[in-house]
């Protein structure tokens, strides 16, 4: 059976925080808002973005554009701005060349998540995509991981199957509960006390891909 790996998207394969911050600065200028307003908008969208969020933003600032127009503009702007590092894209290609099947498991609205996956080129380099809005379940619920595994062609109990992500609960605890081994993308933060440790830590997704490509990785702390 081919080994399988599922990747989170936001702040794992792409830098959502940076992309959102840059978009918010442009949005503030476009709408004539203040810096404090920009901070409020970022806060509203920090966890997730949806048309409903833009209804709230529109109401608060009395914007003339409809929530739907604002949402469509957001999706287009984010897709145009978001980047997946070239090393990560090459890493995905390398894993597939080594026989890995690759899935994306992401919480979010289908429109914006698909726009990001296509514009970055990630969609062309994976076997399956599982977006919470399309599946009707959100990480850390096991159903979303199991759906992604199924869409990748399934895996047997003894086969290698991994989840790679930045969120200790949604990605790591959720992945473990679904029966996956886990690599936590730590960035510059430490693992939260009280949660069971992931199988591995990696400072960024490029290191995680190297660990997977190298075979059964030694335990490595970032
Ligand atoms: Mg994430």
Measure 209 CA to ligand 1 centroid, in angstroms: 16
Residue closest to 222 by CA, chosen among 180, 195, 184, 175: 184
pLDDT bin (cut points 50, 70, 90) of residue 219 is very low
Write down the residue that tokens 């509203």 correspond to. 44
Q: CB count, 10 Å around CB of 177?
A: 12
How far is the CA of 213 from the CAs of 8, 10, 91, 129, 182, in angstroms?
18, 22, 8, 21, 15
Out of 3.40.50.460, 3.40.640.10, 3.40.50.1000, 3.30.1120.130, select the CATH number for domain 4-14+84-213: 3.40.50.1000
Q: What pTM was computed for the model?
A: 0.92
User: What pLDDT does 216 receive?
Assistant: 58
User: What pLDDT does 218 receive?
Assistant: 47
Model confidence over 47-67: pLDDT tens digits?
Answer: 989 999 999 999 999 999 999
Measure 182 CA to ligand 1 centroid, in angstroms: 14
Measure 99 CA to ligand 1 centroid, in angstroms: 25
Between residues 216 and 91, the one the model is more confident about: 91
- DSSP 8-state class, residue 10: B
User: What pLDDT does 221 receive?
Assistant: 43
Measure 63 CA to ligand 1 centroid, in angstroms: 30
Model confidence over 174-183: pLDDT tens digits?
Answer: 999 999 999 9
Prior bond of 36 cis (ω within 30°): no
Measure 62 CA to ligand 1 centroid, in angstroms: 31
Q: Is 154 left (phi over 0), alpha (psi -120 to 50) or beta?
A: left
Measure 14 CA to ligand 1 centroid, in angstroms: 9
User: What pLDDT does 1 receive?
Assistant: 72
Measure 201 CA to ligand 1 centroid, in angstroms: 15
Domain locations in the chain? 4-14+84-213, 16-81
User: What pLDDT does 155 receive?
Assistant: 79
Model confidence over 181-214: pLDDT tens digits?
Answer: 999 999 989 999 999 999 999 999 999 999 999 9
Measure 172 CA to ligand 1 centroid, in angstroms: 10
Check if the beta carbon of residue 113 is closer than 8 Å to that of residue 119: no
The yes-or-no verdict on residue 105 having pLDDT over 70 is yes
Measure 10 CA to ligand 1 centroid, in angstroms: 4
Give me the percent of the chain exceeding a pLDDT of 90: 91
Measure 170 CA to ligand 1 centroid, in angstroms: 8
The yes-or-no verdict on residue 220 having pLDDT over 50 is no
Measure 213 CA to ligand 1 centroid, in angstroms: 21
Measure 106 CA to ligand 1 centroid, in angstroms: 8
Write down the residue that tokens 């966890």 correspond to. 47
């Amino acid at each position: 059976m081919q080994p399988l790996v599922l990747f989170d998207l936001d702040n794992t394969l792409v830098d959502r925080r940076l992309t959102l911050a840059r978009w918010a600065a442009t949005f503030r200028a476009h709408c004539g808002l203040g810096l404090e307003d920009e901070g409020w908008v970022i806060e509203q969208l920090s966890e997730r973005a949806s048309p409903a969020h833009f209804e709230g933003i529109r109401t608060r600032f009395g914007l003339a554009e409809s929530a739907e127009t604002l949402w469509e503009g957001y999706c287009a702007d984010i897709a145009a701005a978001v980047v997946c590092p070239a090393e990560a894209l090459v890493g995905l290609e390398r894993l597939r060349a080594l026989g890995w099947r690759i899935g994306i498991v992401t919480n979010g609205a289908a429109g914006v998540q698909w726009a990001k996956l296509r514009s970055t080129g990630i969609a062309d380099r994976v076997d399956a995509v599982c977006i919470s809005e399309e599946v009707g379940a959100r990480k850390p619920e096991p159903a979303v991981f199991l759906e992604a595994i199924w869409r990748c062609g399934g895996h047997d109990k003894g086969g290698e199957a991994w989840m790679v992500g930045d969120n200790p609960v949604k990605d790591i605890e959720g992945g473990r509960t679904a029966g996956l081994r886990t690599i936590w993308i730590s960035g510059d933060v430490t693992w939260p006390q009280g949660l069971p440790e992931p199988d591995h830590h990696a400072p960024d997704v490029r290191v995680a891909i190297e660990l997977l490509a190298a075979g059964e990785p030694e335990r490595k702390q970032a």
